[in-house]
Structure 1
Amino acid sequence: MKKYFKFQLILLVLASVFILSCNNNDDGPDFPEGSTESVNLWVQDSMKRYYYWADQMPAKPDYHLPVKDFFKSLLSSQDRFSFAVDTQDPSSYPRSVRNMYGFDYAVVQLPNGNVATTVKLVMKNSPAFNSGLERGMMITKINGKAITAANAEELTSAIKDQTVIELRVGQWKNNAVAGEKNITVYYGYSFEQPLESKIFEKNGKKTGYLYIYDFPDGMTPALNQKFAAFKTAGVQELILDLRYNYGGSVSSAAALCSLIPQAISPSSPFIIYKGNKNGGEVKRTFAEQIAYDPNALDFNSIRSNALNLNKVYVLTSNSTASASEIVINNLKPYMQVIQVGDVTLGKDMAGFMVEDKRKPKKISWQLHPVIYKVFNANGEGAYSNGISPQIAAGEYASLPLLPLGDSEETLISSALNNIYSKSAGKNALDQSVKILFQSDTPSAAIGK
């Protein structure tokens, strides 16, 4: 079982955690061991060594601040993603509707001016899933309160401070919510999410579809199995659905990338990491990056099931981040990447966890700082504002939302229309539907 609520947004660049101890700073202040100030000094020393924007950190921070506030005081104004947690305090971990209950929703304004709230994601084997919640359902009330554009954010924040929520839900029929009922969802863990695949066929051309929720370490056997099935079936086109994928292991992302294009070898360059003056520049090939996952299949084993395509379609949203964006950007030197959907989140950075590994441990805090900017084999990166799609398509252009994998679902149909008829489909981007709020906003995702 994997506890997603802890490290869902972390890119595990290295397989092992850096071992740090509380440094004695001969040139800085001296604080009693175990004091808040001594912990803050360790935080500062660690950040000076690894943090991408270390040269922007304040020269004289306030060591008397609570640790979390002190950590935030060191961050660059450009940094949306670094965070710190106290392993002895569960409340310090990032909280979101998704990582607590296993679902997400969007509040949209319809062409007639009415406001509706639709469930867009329900994780398999999650508390929400086990309560009967389904993608496409409409939520009319949360804990007895009707959802409006004005209170959506407040209601979402309140959910994150509770351990049980009551939802009033129904089905979307004839432009209205029908068959309403109450669903109770309890806080709990969500199991590791399975890869979901499908094969579409038209006029003798087969298109593989693969939904990937995230990139955990150790997923190469599952990826290899899916692509073996695609290859056996004679798949000629591929759609990757990364619309809700926050990222994860860069090694797993590299394994996925190795299964798609033509003419790559173990020595083909995959990624460039650029850090501060201490981290410098690090370049890794496909084989090198995959090997950082100790449970991964080797490059040659993976390549035996490669589809050898010259083009791939990737479905994206504002929740597509980190390793998912690396897949998009780092495939571009080797093939045509046709992005369908919305602009991605814009996390062009990577990091690893920094903690005290002394025995016994003296500091319970874990730091998750941005350490590297990431670039592809051609040196292309710098997408902090997100990666824009070639085919703009709005997921909420048509309600109710259809199941992921349905050929008529808005983003999938936009890709399939381009594959089979060279068009993006009609009304794929309905400007009259306005997104007012989404429960998986960047601030909710990173816990800042």
Structure 2
Amino acid sequence: MYLTSPKPNLKNMKKLILSTIAFLSIVSCEDRDDNVYVPDNNLEIQDFIWKGLNLWYYWQDEVSDLADDRFSTNEEYAKYLDNYPDPFNLFDALSHPEDRFSYITDDYNDLLNSQQGIFKTNGVEFGLSYKNGSSNEIFGYVWYILPGTDAEGKNISRGDIFTGVDGQTLTDTNYFELLFGSNDSYTLNMADYDNGAFTSNGNEITLTKIDNYTENPIFISKTIDYNNQKIGYLMYNGFTAQFDDELNNAFAQFKADGIIDLILDLRYNPGGSVNSSANLASMISSQSSNDLFIRLRYNNKIMAALGNSATDYKFRTSINGEAINGLNLNRVYVLTTGRTASASELIINGLDPYMEVIQIGTTTVGKNEASVALFDSESYQYDDDTLNPNHTWGMQPIISRNENSVGFSDYTDGFQPEIELREDLDNMGVLGDINEPLLARALQEISGVAAKAIPQITRPVESFKDSKIVRPLKDNMFIETEKVKLKNF
């Protein structure tokens, strides 16, 4: 779960900066802000990192080097920054031990694109897992193929297995360079799995990545006629605000079809927009616009400056001026895996006080935190005239935790399913097909009748990494700009 960069009132931003780093009051004629000390240009990136984290970081008051009184003079502050010529090292040094998700990049353009669902890909979305009995050899297994990519036209599909790249066996020490390195093209060495062993089948699939691919997160939306019941099925792979209207249209079709139950497939959804999560929750449930979906908790400085309108996300009745196509359901079935995270988990947590949420699959990631994209400008926002033209560093630190309407937020170990069912390497099935194991189990739970017996799991599989880890937002969730405006003191 991540937040788009906040656009606070600049007067209030300056007040916050002055109140938290009052020691930095000596002014030079080159300073961007007439009230805040800025070190030499060779430390401007480090200065941006420290000040941004000092103001916004959720654990600011628990990191001693981010304390408001950490430095007694400007010279001491500059000397501290000078100890970290590599900005990545400074960011790491200022991170809290509990922080699993904050991120920094030397090219914020990738970060901006990722917020829009834009990234480089060859079209194969996959998980990585360890081979049986091996401590270092791994294999990849295909989740799904993105439409309009190089992979779409190749002989590769869901459930296919690969154990090597360009003739090199995959291990936990070389996979990153082989799959996510600078090479835009590579060849996957395919394999079969039989009786506990992986063997090469001689097939090789050469794939080429394309830049600026935009993923539509609505991967499958369909109404299933099952045992004389109409059941909606939505496979939703990312909370991307640009597709909220299309998502609302999908629910309009569900309404027109007269569905009585919904299966929400979030098994490969790593998160995204908090606002999109609230929109989706409003399409599912029957809550009024006065009901709280989720509340965010920031550090003490930000909480003091924000009003409830910025911390509370309520259910809503419209999107971009159009009525939300709410289903008014009293239960929802959610399919999850160990890659379900962030804004996906918000759906489970935010809906739970109001309706029955039946989770099928495996335990989720456990990310109850939100982050924000910060840029080197007075407002820390990208579209600010004061954006520093000298570099392209940006960061995505954790700045808040969430709780639902009854105050529950303790799910850092993930949400455990009511019905545990792992994906099966021997039977991955076809996504959206009524015999795909997770979907079949949900249909069985809804109707009490199975089309045929669900096969016993013979090779349960769970990924430890996947193809989405290299995207800047990874499993973050974000809040839209207008939600994080600092109010008058």
Which category describes the TM-score, using the shorter chain as reference length? 0.7 to 0.9
Residue 301 (structure 2) pairs with residue 278 (structure 1): yes
Say which SS state the counterpart of residue 81 (structure 2) adopts: coil
Relative distance call for 1:346 and 1:133 in structure 2 (3 A) is same
Backbone CA RMSD of aligned residues: 3.7
Shift of 1:405: 0.7
Does residue 57 of structure 2 align to residue 34 of structure 1?
Answer: no
8 Å CA contact 2:216, 2:243 repeated in 1: no
User: In the superposition, relative to structure 1, how do residues 325 and 422 fare at CA in structure 2: closer, same or farther (>3 Å)?
Assistant: farther
One-letter amino acid of the structure 2 residue matched with residue 27 of structure 1? F
Report how far residue 273 of structure 1 moved: 0.7
Residues 309-318 or 362-371, more deviating: 362-371
In 2: Cα distance, 1:18 partner to 1:406 partner: 50
Residue aligning to 1:167: 188
Residue segments in structure 2 that go unaligned for 5+ positions in a row:
27-36, 71-76, 378-383, 476-489
Once the two structures are TM-superposed, the CA of residue 203 in structure 1 deviates from its matched residue by 2.4
- Secondary structure at the aligned position of 1:408 is classed as coil
Aligned residue-pair number: 419
Matched, 1:306 2:335: no
C-alpha spacing 1:445/1:364, structure 2 compared with 1 (3 Å): closer
Is 1:220 the equivalent of 2:220? Answer: no
Q: Which amino acid aligns with 1:284?
A: Y
Task: Indicate how the Cα distance of structure 1 residues 108 and 13 shifts in structure 2: closer, same or farther if over 3 A, else same.
Answer: same
List per-residue Cα deviations over 1:368-413 (Å, max 9, x = no partner): 1111101111111121111111111101x25242221111112111
For 2:23, give the aligned amino acid.
Answer: D
Structure 1 match to 2:415: 387
Q: Cα distance, 1:171 vs. partner? A: 6.7
What is the SS of the residue equivalent to 1:219? helix
Taking structure 2 as the reference length, the TM-score comes to 0.75
Q: In structure 2, what is the Cα distance between the partners aligned to 1:90 and 1:308?
A: 38
Cα drift, residue 278 of structure 1 = 1.4
User: Hey, what's the Cα distance between the residues in 2 that align with 1:441 and 1:255?
Assistant: 24
Tell me if structure 1 keeps the 8 A contact 2:278–2:313. no
Aligned CA distance change for structure 1 residues 231 and 360 (closer, same or farther; 3 Å): closer
Q: What does residue 339 of structure 1 align with?
A: 359
Query: Cα offset for 1:125?
Result: 2.5
Higher Cα Rg, which structure: 2
Match of 1:409 among 412, 436, 439: 436
Separation of aligned partners in 2, 1:350 and 1:425:
41
CA offsets per residue over residues 217-273 of structure 1, 9 Å max, x none? 1322211211111111121111011111111111111111111123x1122211111
SS at match of 1:259: helix
Q: Distance in 2 between matches of 1:234 and 1:90?
A: 41
Q: 2:399 is aligned with what amino acid?
A: I
| Counterpart residue number, 2:2 | 10
Describe the shift of the 1:428–1:252 C-alpha distance in structure 2 as closer, same or farther (beyond 3 A): farther
CA–CA distance in structure 1, aligned partners of residues 314 and 267 of structure 2? 26
* Structure-2 change in CA distance of 1:115 and 1:26 (3 Å): closer
Q: Post-superposition shift, 1:301?
A: 0.4
Query: Are 2:291 and 1:268 equivalent residues in the alignment?
Result: yes
Residue in 1 that maps onto 2:230: 206
Identity of aligned residues (%): 27
Structure 1 partner of 2:398: 370
SS at match of 2:159: coil
Provide the C-alpha distance between the structure 1 equivalents of 2:5 and 2:259, rounded to a whole number of angstroms. Answer: 32
In the alignment, which residue of structure 2 is the partner of 1:142?
165
Q: Alpha-carbon deviation of 1:109? A: 4.7
